[in-house]
Amino acid sequence: MDQFLKLGEALASMARIMAQEEGIVTAGVTIPQNKFSREDLEYLSSVITKELPVEVEYHREERFVVVAFTRKSV
């Protein structure tokens, strides 16, 4: 649970920076595949998109998950 909260804080911080910096359109991070479930990532994505003007996508590979943020057009 502690790692889940830390990931949520890190992703929210990244999304906040993107929302404030017009020069950043898309940014992403990779995390190990086995750390968090699909439901965990979907929950974090839903919280972040409600609070900030970004879209969150993720793509699962064999060993990792790519979490990408894209600035919404305002």
Taking only the tens place, the pLDDT of each residue in 50-63 is: 877 888 888 888 89
pLDDT of residue 1: 64
State how far the Cα of 30 lies from the Cα of 51, in Å rounded to an integer: 22
Q: Assign domain 2-71 to a CATH class.
A: alpha beta
Instruction: Spell out the domain ranges in the chain.
Output: 2-71
What is the structure's pLDDT at 46?
86
Contact status, residue 69 vs residue 59, Cβ threshold 8 Å: no
Kindly report, residue by residue over 31-51, the tens digit of the pLDDT.
888 888 888 888 888 888 887
Residues linked to residue 64 through DSSP beta bridges, in sequence order: 32
Say whether pTM exceeds 0.75.
no
Residue 56 CA to residue 15 CA, distance in Å, equals 9
At 6-19, the pLDDT tens digits run: 888 888 888 888 87
